[in-house]
Structure 1
């Protein structure tokens, strides 16, 4: 099942970014350090062109540190790009972002040429918390759900440093299927756009192979790593449900409730430091997604061509018309 979510205000955000980018010196994209590839918006690359960009891997304190290092190397190897990892709730590290912007646009600064920065990110990535940390003021609204920020906001961080905050934005079509699941479990997608049980199963399928110890410790499971990896994901979800008391009359496990428990535990960081993708995994998912999308488009074009051809040749207009 492909997960898609692009409500109307996101289209307005896309238009606002396209208009604003002409006057911007640096683009900050806030990413979720637990899913740094899936939370990077491909539409942003199209909208911002060749503007210098700073990738901020936020929530690094709850991500796998070894994998965060891999992602920093991966992003820092890209042209006109710098990447840093931080926890947006801590004030001190965020000052590094101002310095990084100055390195990316050394010609800007001072009252004559103030630094103009656009900050973007998918919903619920911690962007507003980061802005408040940078400015030491509660200027941006925050909340643990997608779509809290609705309007563009101009924030003055210094006399010569202006920051434009934009609402969280996804992209019209999420072609990488696994990215859709990762975005959903992180809270970047509205709740009406996905099935909790399916998202929880996808999450467990990945975690049982890569973070079995985290699951065992949180849910007091008895299986070793090999046994955990071999368990069908639905059996694992059922076992977790029993451990956490999600049992209905007759002894049946409420799988919906169990799924909600798993998703919530990931979002509020009860499962330990987990990262849901490596650069290599994401590149492979992206390749597969692009191939599937190309095949889908080819089939769509073929159907359109067949439909057009089935109409037969058009009759020539009658004389005098």
Structure 2
């Protein structure tokens, strides 16, 4: 599964982000708490450079709580400012303004000494597709579609959004990198829906996901699909067993594995199987 996927609009987004950095004070990097490393775009480090940054581990409510703590400790150890959040419930979002002000403390003090008081702090949110950016931004703004009007230098696909507590946010479209050199990274992103199912073999994808769940979250897998002993079952055997239990049967008694795979992926992405994390700190 050697995935190469770089639509033209993403190349354009990269250029827009580079051009827009001079307009903002701090970058908020949104990652998926279920795969904190794999959902970081490696291009972001080159694009953002030394611009102050805050990482937000979004979707933390559907990630493994124990691994959430482990990842927080890992990022802090590596001098990365990070918080846990969930853009659906709003959990953790009230910390963002305080964290940003703390990160920008010296800059704010310099501006205050020059008489520049109450200037809006400008943020940029970056993240790969399907990481929850729209929900995150709307929750921060307190409403949907919170445009503040056109600004010089802002091209189509971006908007300024006025937030509470003296912040303004510059939104950018999601961006992926040109090629996944590591097949496992591509797979994990596909599990969460960051890569469109239309370009994937979802039966193969689901088989590999089921093998991961068998090895790492066997009890949750067994409970959700009313399975018994699964340690010796392959991903395909798990897929057919689950398909049979869910009534995915076509004429002749054959299991509709395509339909079963779609059900399993949907239930994994919706956390119906349980709160899980796909990778552990290095």
Q: TM-score, structure 2 length as denominator?
A: 0.89
For 1:103 and 1:161, locate their aligned partners in 2 and report how far apart those are by CA, in whole Å: 14
Kindly tell me the number of residue pairs found equivalent between the two proteins: 267
- 1:161-310 equivalence runs, <5 A: 161-223=167-229, 228-280=230-282
SS of 1:197's equivalent in the other structure is helix
Equivalent position of 2:46 in the other structure = 46
For 1:269 and 1:102, locate their aligned partners in 2 and report how far apart those are by CA, in whole Å: 34
Structure 2 unaligned segments of length 5 or more: list them: 148-155
For 1:86 and 1:160, locate their aligned partners in 2 and report how far apart those are by CA, in whole Å: 21
For 1:198 and 1:14, locate their aligned partners in 2 and report how far apart those are by CA, in whole Å: 31
For 2:242 and 2:93, locate their aligned partners in 1 and report how far apart those are by CA, in whole Å: 38
Equivalent position of 2:103 in the other structure = 104
- Answer yes or no: is the 8 Å Cα contact 2:26–2:54 preserved in 1: yes
**Cα shift at 1:112:** 5.9
Query: Greater relative contact order (Cα 8 A, min sep 6): structure 1 or 2?
Result: 2
SS of 1:164's equivalent in the other structure is strand
Equivalent position of 1:315 in the other structure = none
**Cα shift at 1:113:** 4.2
Equivalent position of 2:152 in the other structure = none
- Answer yes or no: is the 8 Å Cα contact 2:29–2:127 preserved in 1: yes
Equivalent position of 1:290 in the other structure = none
Equivalent position of 1:318 in the other structure = none
**Cα shift at 1:193:** 2.2
For 1:134 and 1:153, locate their aligned partners in 2 and report how far apart those are by CA, in whole Å: 14
Deviations 1:208-259 (A, max 9, x none): 1000111111111111xxxx23211111111111111111111111111111
- Answer yes or no: is the 8 Å Cα contact 1:123–1:188 preserved in 2: yes
- 1:85-124 equivalence runs, <5 A: 85-91=84-90, 93-106=92-105, 107-108=107-108, 111=117, 113-124=119-130
Stretches of 4+ aligned residues off by more than 6 angstroms: none
For 1:24 and 1:156, locate their aligned partners in 2 and report how far apart those are by CA, in whole Å: 13
For 1:261 and 1:240, locate their aligned partners in 2 and report how far apart those are by CA, in whole Å: 10
**Cα shift at 1:160:** 3.5
- Answer yes or no: is the 8 Å Cα contact 2:239–2:260 preserved in 1: yes
Equivalent position of 1:12 in the other structure = 12
**Cα shift at 1:127:** 1.2
- Asked if 1:75 is matched to 2:75, the reply is yes
SS of 2:170's equivalent in the other structure is strand
SS of 2:92's equivalent in the other structure is helix
Relative to structure 1, the CA distance from residue 233 to residue 92 in structure 2 (aligned partners, 3 Å threshold; closer, same or farther) is closer
SS of 1:128's equivalent in the other structure is helix
For 2:255 and 2:146, locate their aligned partners in 1 and report how far apart those are by CA, in whole Å: 41
Please identify the structure whose Cα radius of gyration is greater.
1
Higher helix share: 1
Relative to structure 1, the CA distance from residue 230 to residue 20 in structure 2 (aligned partners, 3 Å threshold; closer, same or farther) is same
- Answer yes or no: is the 8 Å Cα contact 1:4–1:180 preserved in 2: no
1:151 to 147, 157, 161: 157
- Answer yes or no: is the 8 Å Cα contact 2:34–2:279 preserved in 1: yes
For 1:181 and 1:275, locate their aligned partners in 2 and report how far apart those are by CA, in whole Å: 14
Relative to structure 1, the CA distance from residue 206 to residue 140 in structure 2 (aligned partners, 3 Å threshold; closer, same or farther) is farther
Relative to structure 1, the CA distance from residue 208 to residue 130 in structure 2 (aligned partners, 3 Å threshold; closer, same or farther) is same
